[in-house]
Amino acid sequence: MAATAAILLGIGLARFAYTPLIPALVAEGWFAPGAAVYLGAANLAGYLLGAGLARRLAARAGAPRVLRAMMALATASLGACAAPLSFGWFFAWRLASGVAGGTLMVLAAPTVLPAVPAARRGFASGVVFAGVGLGIAASGTLVPLLLRHGLAAAWLGLAALGVALTALAWRGWPAVTAGPPAPARPAPGARVGADRVLAALLVEYALNAAGLVPHMVFLVDFVARGLGEGLAAGARYWVLFGVGATLGPVAAGLLADRVGFRAALRLALGAQAALVGVLAWAPGPVVLVASSLMIGAAVPGATALVLGRVQELVPPGAHAAAWGWATTAFALGQAAAAYGLSFVFAGTQRHEPLFALGAGALVAALALDVVAGGRARPFTSR
């Protein structure tokens, strides 16, 4: 429960609740369209920073203390955004929310899963990462209701929910004094990143992150302002995105059980490319429903598939280090794409090129996996 609350707050609310707020920020004159999307990108830059610092912070202060502090920081960032003092003020707090989210994503599950019986860890892991989708669905439901009372009230309402989640999780962390254990040194010849298939996978994961950014940052604004359907319609598609994100980890795991992680990842990349790219050319209602659901599922689903693929490609002693590389690659890919696409949008004021570029990144990831997957021998634990 504590870890789910942490992921719900740090990712589902602190990051994704901003997406349905973008049209209102523009409509009420808080920020110009270009500035509003740059502020969305600030969270992703902070996520990269938080993911990189998480293990060091936990080693120094203990994971429970860091987790509590980061949940408090995420909550404070939501409350601070109720005051539109300046672009710099908003940027700093959106960056801080990303630092909190990245740290919570890296530490929450590894901190609690060792305390869960082995037979229940798969289920527990799915519940923890379902917090992403629950937060997205909650933001899509609550934000339109809160906006009836104004933008400041919307931010304060989200902060109040953050206070409740932080209180819920406060005493739920295992009583440990140090962070997750440092990864064991790989056996000679099994260095993380030495295998070309693993190196290619890290690049693919970064490209996958880039391909998801158009939905993560621009979906609601695309529907509300780009298609002229209004914030309520945009919020409905955002709720569908959240439903998909809630079901994504389980669906990805079932697919991988049937066809294997490599084949499941390739199928997922192909489907994502189609469902992102189609919004650049034919964004009808049926297409929007399918795209919102499936790309929502891909946000945590891709994480589950890449984690499984990493475990296939490296020996057990290198799993933690390899996953750290992968998490950093994802954070770097989404941060770079967020700023790049924000620059494109600021120059064009059109959403369609963003989805086309996202689809291109996913096609490149699929092509790289096909080329690299057949040319190098992966590490195995057998």
For residues 146 and 262, membership in a common domain is answered with no
For residues 252 and 108, membership in a common domain is answered with no
Q: Which residue range forms the structural domain that includes residue 138?
A: 1-182
Q: Which residues contact 11 (CB under 8 A, 6 or more apart)?
A: 101, 104, 105, 131, 132, 135
For residues 55 and 204, membership in a common domain is answered with no
Look at residues 133, 162, 182 and tell me which one is the last residue of a structural domain: 182
- Residue 89 corresponds to which amino acid? W
For residues 14 and 74, membership in a common domain is answered with yes
For residues 203 and 162, membership in a common domain is answered with no
Q: How far apart are CA 115 and CA 320, in angstroms?
A: 18
Tokens read off for 106? 């890296």
Tokens read off for 87? 């672009």
Per-residue pLDDT tens digits for 202-216: 999 999 999 999 998
pLDDT given for residue 357 in this prediction: 95
pLDDT given for residue 275 in this prediction: 93
For residues 103 and 218, membership in a common domain is answered with no
Look at residues 167, 182, 197 and tell me which one is the last residue of a structural domain: 182
Looking up residue 119, the CATH number of its domain turns out to be: 1.20.1250.20
Average pLDDT, rounded, for the chain: 83
For residues 121 and 31, membership in a common domain is answered with yes
Of 340, 334, 328, 375, the closest CA to residue 105 belongs to 328
How many distinct structural domains can be found in the chain?
Answer: 2
For residues 80 and 160, membership in a common domain is answered with yes
Burial of 121 from C-beta contacts in 10 A (0-12 / 13-18 / 19+): middle
The list of the chain residues with pLDDT below 50 reads 177-194, 375-378, 380-382
Model's pTM, two decimal places? Answer: 0.74
Burial of 371 from C-beta contacts in 10 A (0-12 / 13-18 / 19+): exposed
- The end-to-end CA distance of the chain, in Å, is 35
For residues 197 and 308, membership in a common domain is answered with yes
Q: Which helix (H) or strand (E) holds 40?
A: helix 33-61
pLDDT given for residue 176 in this prediction: 55
Of 173, 135, 192, 162, the closest CA to residue 58 belongs to 173
For residues 131 and 215, membership in a common domain is answered with no
Look at residues 140, 166, 182 and tell me which one is the last residue of a structural domain: 182
